[in-house]
Chain A
Amino acid sequence: MDKLEIRNLVKIYGHNTDKALEMLKNGAENDEIRQKTKQVVGVRDVSFSVKSGESFVIMGLSGSGKSTLLRCINQLIKPTAGEIYLDGENLFAMPPRQLLEVRRKRMGMVFQRFALLPHRTIADNVAYGLEVQAVKRAERKQQAMQAIELVGLKGWEDSYPHNLSGGMQQRVGIARALATNPDILLMDEPFSALDPLIRQDMQDELLEIQKKLQKTIIFITHDLDEALKIGERIALMKDARVVQMGEPEDILLSPATEYVARFVEHVDRTRALTASAVMIKPRAAVYPKDGPLTALHLMEKYGISGLFVTDRAGHLMGYLMADDASRLVKKGEKQLVNALNKDVPTASPETPLADLLDILARTQIPIAVVDEDQVLKGILVRGPVIAGLAGERSGE
């Protein structure tokens, strides 16, 4: 079931939004609306839904409306129109008292510049959300300590924020958001203010925490590499609209607009692309149905010098070279097994290309992509991999 669903959300800044909203509904552009009504469009007609436990990244450059969109979700910014459903309840129509409870118990927010209270210790910062809910001191302390340990800051609970480095401060921010045990984490460019190396560590750590806790995460970033790393799905925003939404590889390999294409141009594709995105369909001989003669015939037909061999269920058995196959034919042997090269390089579908490039450079035979049951899913050969890195969808 969808945890969060946003339908036709619109935010227009200004005092007189009625006319602007009407123009927007009739398809007027942002600039036209601004010139005619002096109202500024922050988010226009955005709809998406996020599943429980999913990491959803909203990506865009500054001014694209991504932060506004995030703040509309917890109503820090009141949307102009639209619906926001959390577990089927419309937040937009919720009375203030109830909304307060939603903010307290079901949503946690992480801020770009950490937003730690300088006059409070780390433990008291982390416990803020609990304190607001009037949780008893002892319980508060215990829950805060759990969150502090989770982000690896044990031993720092009595320090003050100014004693901590940026990365550590943001860990406090994350711990604070987790301490109330919310369903949804709203993360507003949480790592943008950090040094690149620290940023990567924090990304890894977030993924680690996410593996354990399975929160629903709405993550804002302007960094495509980060979006590709964190997001199971990504929405790309420009000029207050979502221009493309999909899984990381969809966005990389089939950009919907010129704008997205320009965006993805500079991405480190070796990290962003996984084996499954650039593998091609295997042309495998199936044992024992096919003998050496069939195998040779297939190689000839496709102009290749070897074949993967699987059993009937698709489990990888090995690689058959053309020379070995013809030797078998000369001997009149029907059994492929003895001629198979069993020492083939393999990869899982999720392996990033970065980890495979040097194997691909050294090996003479393709890399076999197999799932956890050793079933052959596809193969990696140089041509399509290079095409994928260059930004083209691999041919079948």
Chain B
Amino acid sequence: MDIIPRIPINKWTDTGIKSLQTRFADAFDSMTEFLRNFIEGFQERLLSIPPEVLILIIALLAWRFTNKKVALFSVIGLYLVHNMQLWNPTMETLAMVFIAVFICMVIGLPLGILGAKNQTAHKIIMPVLDFMQTLPAFVYLLPAVTFFGLGVVPGVIATLIFAMPPVIRLTDLGIKQVPEELVELGKSFGSTFFQMLFKIELPLARPTIMAGINQCIMLSLSMVVVAAMIGAKGLGGEVWRGIQRMEIGDGFEAGLAIVVIAIVLDRITQSFGKSN
């Protein structure tokens, strides 16, 4: 039975993480510092806008890009959030989600393009994405804390791991789905790599890429509560506190606010993929 001795993956992981921690402590510290300033700065920016004004802006956006129904829902939903006195944690969550999604796009779009263009890169990226998507969040939450301390930064890092895969996958897919004849069109008229990308492939892949970004937003929101367990406050923090203190009503209210944000963001970003 024991012909092969136990392979100590656990030990390897422990030592690996420890050596990373000691060797790159400064790098992690400055990265944490940078991210925290970035996120908190954005939170303050959002909080400095009066709730009524922000509600109006979001409703106008919804009206412009979708329809009156979504605009009306935004007004009612967001006002309800304000009314439940959850405005501040909502803005904290929104800031976290936006920053996470922004970083997902900055890293995910180029990787998706790379995967679509290069078969070897595709073969390396895809299993890594499978790994990121299926590894239970709790498993990487603790290492995130050891590297980045408690608070909003490890929350964003954990969100990145969880929410980035659809951006990469759907960018890759979207570019591969561009009809062969249009690729030939680009080539036959002498387009360079970047001309192909920006004039033909990305515009045609846009609906698929937007679906990926939409998924990224939704997944980021669903990580909010999990991230709250390592101190990332926001609406997740409210839910978490409600659970811990058995204040079911408070927890439900915060949960409801997450749903409202999710629906508003979903409808607006979905429309980016459709309209011309």
Residues of A at under 8 Å CB distance from B?
Answer: 71, 74, 76, 100-105, 107-109, 111-113, 115, 117-119, 128-129, 131-133, 160, 180, 186
Contact = CB atoms under 8 A, between A and B. Distances in A.
Contacts of B206: 119
B188 A128 contact: no
B181 A103 contact: no
A180 to B, nearest CB: 7
Given A103-B189, A132-B195, 13 more contacts: A71-B184, A76-B184, A76-B187, A103-B188, A107-B188, A108-B188, A109-B184, A109-B185, A117-B199, A119-B203, A128-B185, A128-B189, A160-B276
Interface residues of B, number: 18
Report which residue of A100, A103, A115 has the largest number of chain B beta carbons within 10 angstroms of its beta carbon.
A115
B191 A132 contact: yes
Interface in B201-258: 203-204, 206
A111 B179 CA distance: 12
B192 interface: yes
Contact of A180 (B179, B189, B191, B204): B189
B189 A132 contact: yes
Contacts of A180: 189
Contacts of B204: 117-119
Contacts of B190: 100-105, 129, 132-133
A107 B182 CA distance: 16
Given A117-B204, A119-B276, A128 B182 contact: no
Contact of B192 (A100, A111, A113): A100
Interface of B: 179, 181-182, 184-185, 187-192, 195, 199-200, 203-204, 206, 276
Contacts of B203: 117, 119
B276 A109 contact: no
Majority DSSP secondary structure for residues of A touching B: mixed
Given A117-B200, A118-B204, A129 B276 contact: no
A117 B188 contact: no
Given A76-B187, A103-B187, A128-B199, A115 B192 contact: no
A32 B184 CA distance: 31
Across chains A and B, which 4 residue pairs bring their CB atoms closest together, nearest first? A104-B190, A103-B190, A109-B188, A115-B185
A132 B182 CA distance: 14
A104 B181 contact: no
A368 B272 CA distance: 70
Contacts of B195: 132
21 contacts: A100-B190, A101-B190, A102-B190, A103-B187, A105-B190, A108-B188, A109-B185, A109-B188, A112-B181, A115-B182, A115-B184, A117-B182, A117-B204, A119-B206, A129-B189, A129-B190, A132-B192, A132-B195, A160-B276, A180-B189, A186-B188
A122 B239 CA distance: 54
Given A112-B181, A113-B181, A74 B188 contact: yes
